[in-house]
A and B are shown apart, each in its own frame.
Chain A
């Protein structure tokens, strides 16, 4: 019964919205807004053909490659910079500045430096996504509980073991918060780099539809981007729950007191 109720709540509003949409587009033929039926039909037609191989999968591969590289670079760099106070002080203003640059302006810059290649698109994604992970890792490493740090020191825990058992776990929640930002920026940059300069990929295809006034196809492209966004957010939440299980458990205990 409880599950049924949950389902009811989850489905009620979307169903209502679709019905309103359907009813609103029933009588008239608005050029900009397709009916749900047409959209669903075009969606299947447009994206379940060869496009999924020629446009969708390469885009996702670039996104994945860029985001993974950015996370690795961010965490490694953050561990390095966060561990030394002087290095942190030295680099902080420059890093803050780089984070403040809106990542999309890097598209024309990198286009110039690297030309229009797949590599450029991946580098655009990396150079936009790395900052939240990097800065959050630095912050997380800096905020390690000094008592824990001293205890580890006293027990002679150093090097890799210190990073694995002390630094990474205590910076974990911060790092994951950075990764979350990194994912949404990555998706934005994937689309923009393809809209700006490309002859394939999701962003390019959607702009192409819009320019040729293929409105239902364009809408279906927006839906695809939405679905990718939703899928990424689910994967992230799932992974975060796994990695930070101890942390969420701790929070629950603390909140209950």
Chain B
């Protein structure tokens, strides 16, 4: 039964054996239903597995509460002011850090990117500083700022700066020579050239950088709160864990995932809006 279904879809036979495990688990969804339906089925299946694993006793419920319990805890959280305050603090650190990083990176990127001398001069330093993991700065942030939002900001800005900066450098380097020379011969000044030639060329790259930076910034904001203990969702998670409020902790983890999904969706939407004029469909992964 399982196999006939698969074979009808003309599946390479060699992989069927490896598939069967996954197939059995997800039997409930079958036969070319619409995308959304399958996606929903996937989510429900996942929740069902999560519900069953602790109930059956594969993992102790003490350590992994069933899904219903965690979702209940999350729903309770939604009614609490403390939860929203923590979310607000995390989002504030995220937004401030992201904005600072974007502004810094854009300005520096345009200045350095438009001069080949500066590009060559800074290249080695940039290549050295960029791979330094931002979490290496955690001890420094603690020393300088203690458990305040500034320590979170420092990590967020450092991590997201590079994402945007590198993209802007690529973007500015990508300017079409013909377009640039045309602008020059029409007598456009330096400011107008940046506004009408360089900026539109670099904008798609900039937006890619911003989108990447947005998710990196969230990771670092939560990390800083978790490890340093600056106010926000991350600290709540650490507190819930050490306080033994296990389903509360899982609920907060779920909440961070939801925030992450929301940020991804919003960023994609902003990207589509700002680049609606851009004709080519860019491949956004190879950078």
| Distance in angstroms between the alpha carbons of A99 and B226 in the assembled complex | 18
- Kindly provide the distance from the CB of A24 to the nearest chain B CB, expressed in whole angstroms: 16
- Kindly provide the distance from the CB of B6 to the nearest chain A CB, expressed in whole angstroms: 9
Main secondary structure of the interface of B (DSSP, over half): helix
Residues A94 and B46 in contact in the complex (CB < 8 Å), given A107-B226, A108-B226, A226-B132 = yes
| Distance in angstroms between the alpha carbons of A107 and B238 in the assembled complex | 10
- Kindly provide the distance from the CB of B7 to the nearest chain A CB, expressed in whole angstroms: 13
* Partner among B43, B120, B140, B246 whose Cβ is within 8 Å of the Cβ of A222: B140
Assess whether B132 is in contact with A10, with CB atoms less than 8 Å apart. no
| Distance in angstroms between the alpha carbons of A203 and B14 in the assembled complex | 45
Q: Taking the complex as formed, is A9 at the interface, i.e. its CB lies under 8 A from any CB of chain B?
A: yes
> Who on chain B is nearest to A213 by CB?
B143
A-binding segment of B18-26, B77-85, B176-184: B18-26
* Partner among B9, B129, B249, B287 whose Cβ is within 8 Å of the Cβ of A109: B249
> Who on chain B is nearest to A175 by CB?
B285
Assess whether B43 is in contact with A93, with CB atoms less than 8 Å apart. yes
| Distance in angstroms between the alpha carbons of A177 and B284 in the assembled complex | 10
Q: Render A79-110 as a binary contact track against B, CB cut-off 8 A, 1 for contact.
A: 01001101101111110111111111111110
B132 to chain A: which residues have CB within 8 Å?
A: 222, 225-226, 229-230
> Who on chain B is nearest to A99 by CB?
B260
Assess whether A13 is in contact with B125, with CB atoms less than 8 Å apart. yes
Interface residues of B in 223-255 (CB under 8 A from A): 223, 226-227, 234, 237-238, 241, 246, 249-250, 252-253
Main secondary structure of the interface of A (DSSP, over half): helix
Q: Taking the complex as formed, is A123 at the interface, i.e. its CB lies under 8 A from any CB of chain B?
A: no
Assess whether A9 is in contact with B121, with CB atoms less than 8 Å apart. yes
Q: Taking the complex as formed, is A233 at the interface, i.e. its CB lies under 8 A from any CB of chain B?
A: yes
Q: Taking the complex as formed, is B207 at the interface, i.e. its CB lies under 8 A from any CB of chain A?
A: no
| Distance in angstroms between the alpha carbons of A215 and B223 in the assembled complex | 22
Residues A188 and B131 in contact in the complex (CB < 8 Å), given A86-B38, A97-B261, A111-B241 = no
Assess whether B122 is in contact with A100, with CB atoms less than 8 Å apart. no
B-binding segment of A42-50, A52-60, A66-74, A157-165: A157-165
| Distance in angstroms between the alpha carbons of A102 and B137 in the assembled complex | 18
- Kindly provide the distance from the CB of A160 to the nearest chain B CB, expressed in whole angstroms: 7
| Distance in angstroms between the alpha carbons of A106 and B263 in the assembled complex | 19
